[in-house]
């Protein structure tokens, strides 16, 4: 009787005598022809998105926009004769569910690649898995530094990383808002850590308070109170949209007037307008979002949705009007479309004889140029996405104006230099037929 239990236990013991944290001898292989998810006329790709949960307000629209862009491409004949089949899984911004749904995409749906997986706490849990399995993991929707890691050969960033962005914000504040006391508010993970690495290069001696928030806790009153009592005249918010909105509302409630400088991840005025009204309504009040947002400073790396003269925005507006006319045209929509377009571009460069290795080669080719205002950092040595950002300010009518031209820099101590002004137009990239 008891021996049976003992026997079972000893089988387990004998069968696994190596340590749980030690590296196994053999790794997975990245090769494997023919590539999973690729047939003669389709290529299946997947993504994990927060369609529900704390990051859903705002971000749940990204995959809607990406889907519209893929529909547009498919209706024009697809890429290299293949239609793109885009599978979206909801992870609720919960890392446990991210691991589950990514395993589902890889094992059950047999996707060719994971594209634009969203979030640092979430996506960081699947990078090892995807690299061991040899699944391309491109254009991660997060600005953490860890996507550009020589150990993760399959992983590529997309957004400007938080350190580069922090440097550009820090220099702008040091130059243009000289002498003011600065407070920091950041998400208590890589967002905050990486952003401070950049901000501290210019502002270390002027920062009077550093406040972290946890995305699971929607009360930011203690943080805003601390910033107020420290006398911060400028608050740099490295926050997702929901927490930018909460911080602005909480500051208003406290009667705390300060200059908000918000990172690109949470600075889209149209998304913020919706959130401010929504949150205020739930709290039983009405607010004027334009008044609250007026004067807010933000950074961005994609053209603003309001710029009708930009050829990329013209294309995105066309796609928007045709496929998702009922969605408000926000910068979040532009993000989803730009990301989908960039992936399609890489897919085209990878050629008709598609393999996973060829997609990685195409990503590293340095030939990918996209809608962004600054160039990509992609090469064999670097898997960094956009390499810089511009600074904008919100007008009284919630449109934006550029107050500093696009700058690029590196993630270390390098100088900040103006970005090249020449960008390819959609017609020059010529992704699909007319």
- The residues that touch other proteins, with contacts defined as CB under 8 A, are 1-2, 4-5, 8-9, 12-13, 15-25, 51-54, 56-57, 60, 88, 90, 93-97, 99-100, 103-104, 107-108, 120-121, 124-125, 127-129, 132, 187-190, 212, 214-217
Beta carbons within 10 angstroms of residue 14's beta carbon: 8
Task: State in angstroms the smallest separation of the CB of 27 from other proteins.
Answer: 11
Q: Which is nearer to other proteins, 189 or 200 (CB)?
A: 189
Q: Which is nearer to other proteins, 63 or 374 (CB)?
A: 63
Beta carbons within 10 angstroms of residue 33's beta carbon: 9
Strand runs labelled E in 107-169: 113-115, 137-140, 155-157
Answer whether 167's CB lies under 8 Å from 44's CB. no
Task: State in angstroms the smallest separation of the CB of 268 from other proteins.
Answer: 16
Q: Which is nearer to other proteins, 123 or 228 (CB)?
A: 123
How many Å is the Cα radius of gyration of the chain? Answer: 23
Helices 241-254 and 221-229 sit at what angle, rounded to 10 degrees? Answer: 60
Q: Which is nearer to other proteins, 7 or 291 (CB)?
A: 7
Task: State in angstroms the smallest separation of the CB of 310 from other proteins.
Answer: 28
Q: Which is nearer to other proteins, 14 or 308 (CB)?
A: 14
Q: Which is nearer to other proteins, 121 or 370 (CB)?
A: 121
Task: State in angstroms the smallest separation of the CB of 423 from other proteins.
Answer: 33
Q: Give the strand pairing for 259-262 and 234-238.
A: parallel
Alpha-carbon span 332 to 270, nearest angstrom = 9
Answer whether 148's CB lies under 8 Å from 173's CB. no
Q: Which is nearer to other proteins, 199 or 234 (CB)?
A: 199
Task: State in angstroms the smallest separation of the CB of 101 from other proteins.
Answer: 10
Task: State in angstroms the smallest separation of the CB of 53 from other proteins.
Answer: 8
Contacts of 3 (CB under 8 A, 6+ apart): none
Q: Which is nearer to other proteins, 127 or 235 (CB)?
A: 127
Contacts of 314 (CB under 8 A, 6+ apart): 308
Task: State in angstroms the smallest separation of the CB of 54 from other proteins.
Answer: 8
Alpha-carbon span 323 to 315, nearest angstrom = 12
Q: Which is nearer to other proteins, 95 or 311 (CB)?
A: 95
**Six-digit token string for 101:** 């749904």
Q: Among 39, 92, 47, 42, which residue's Cα sits nearest to residue 66?
A: 47
Q: How far apart are the first and last CA of the chain?
A: 75
Answer whether 268's CB lies under 8 Å from 241's CB. yes
Answer whether 196's CB lies under 8 Å from 166's CB. yes
- The one-character DSSP state at 121 is H
Task: State in angstroms the smallest separation of the CB of 72 from other proteins.
Answer: 18
Task: State in angstroms the smallest separation of the CB of 331 from other proteins.
Answer: 18
Q: Which is nearer to other proteins, 168 or 265 (CB)?
A: 265
Cis check: omega of the bond before 169, within 30 degrees of 0: no
Alpha-carbon span 365 to 368, nearest angstrom = 7
Task: State in angstroms the smallest separation of the CB of 218 from other proteins.
Answer: 12
Q: Among 214, 235, 4, which residue's Cα sits nearest to residue 121?
A: 214
**Six-digit token string for 312:** 């990329």
């Amino acid at each position: 009787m008891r021996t049976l239990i003992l026997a079972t236990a000893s089988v387990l013991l004998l069968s696994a005598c190596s340590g749980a944290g030690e590296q196994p001898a053999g790794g997975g292989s990245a090769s494997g022809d023919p590539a999973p998810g690729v047939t003669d006329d389709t290529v299946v790709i997947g993504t994990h998105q927060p369609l529900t949960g704390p990051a859903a307000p705002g971000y749940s629209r990204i995959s809607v926009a990406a889907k519209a862009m893929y529909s547009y491409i498919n209706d024009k004949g697809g890429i290299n004769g293949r239609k793109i089949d885009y599978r979206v899984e909801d992870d609720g911004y919960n890392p446990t569910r991210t691991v589950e749904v990514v395993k589902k995409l890889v094992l059950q749906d047999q996707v060719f690649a994971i594209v634009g997986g969203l979030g640092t706490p979430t996506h960081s849990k699947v990078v090892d898995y995807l690299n061991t399995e040899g699944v391309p993991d491109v254009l991660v929707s997060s600005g953490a530094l860890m996507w550009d890691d020589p150990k993760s050969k399959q992983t590529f960033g997309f957004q400007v990383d938080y350190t580069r962005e922090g440097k550009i914000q820090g220099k702008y504040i040091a130059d243009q808002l000289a002498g003011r006391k600065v407070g920091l508010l950041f998400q208590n993970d890589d967002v905050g850590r990486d952003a401070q690495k950049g901000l501290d290069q210019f502002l270390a001696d002027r920062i009077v308070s550093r406040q972290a928030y946890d995305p699971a806790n929607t009360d930011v009153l203690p943080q805003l109170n601390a910033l107020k009592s420290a006398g911060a005249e400028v608050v740099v918010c490295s926050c997702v949209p929901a927490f930018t909105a909460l911080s602005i509302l909480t500051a208003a409630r406290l009667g705390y007037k300060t200059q908000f400088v918000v990172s690109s991840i949470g600075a889209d005025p149209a998304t913020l307008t919706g959130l401010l009204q929504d949150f205020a309504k739930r709290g039983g009040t009405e607010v004027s979002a334009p008044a609250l947002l007026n004067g807010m400073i933000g950074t961005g790396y994609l053209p603003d949705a309001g710029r009708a003269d930009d050829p990329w925005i013209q294309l995105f507006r066309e796609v928007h009007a045709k496929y998702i006319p009922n969605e408000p045209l926000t910068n979040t929509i532009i993000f989803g479309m730009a990301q989908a377009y960039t992936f399609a571009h890489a897919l085209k460069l990878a050629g008709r004889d598609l393999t996973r290795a060829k997609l990685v080669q195409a990503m590293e080719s340095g030939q990918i140029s996209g809608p962004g205002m600054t160039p990509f950092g992609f090469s064999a040595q670097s898997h960094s996405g956009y390499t810089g950002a511009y600074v904008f300010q919100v007008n009284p009518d919630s449109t934006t104006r550029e107050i500093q031209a696009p700058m690029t820099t590196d993630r270390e101590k390098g100088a900040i230099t103006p970005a090249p002004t020449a960008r390819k137009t959609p017609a020059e990239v010529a992704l699909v037929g007319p």
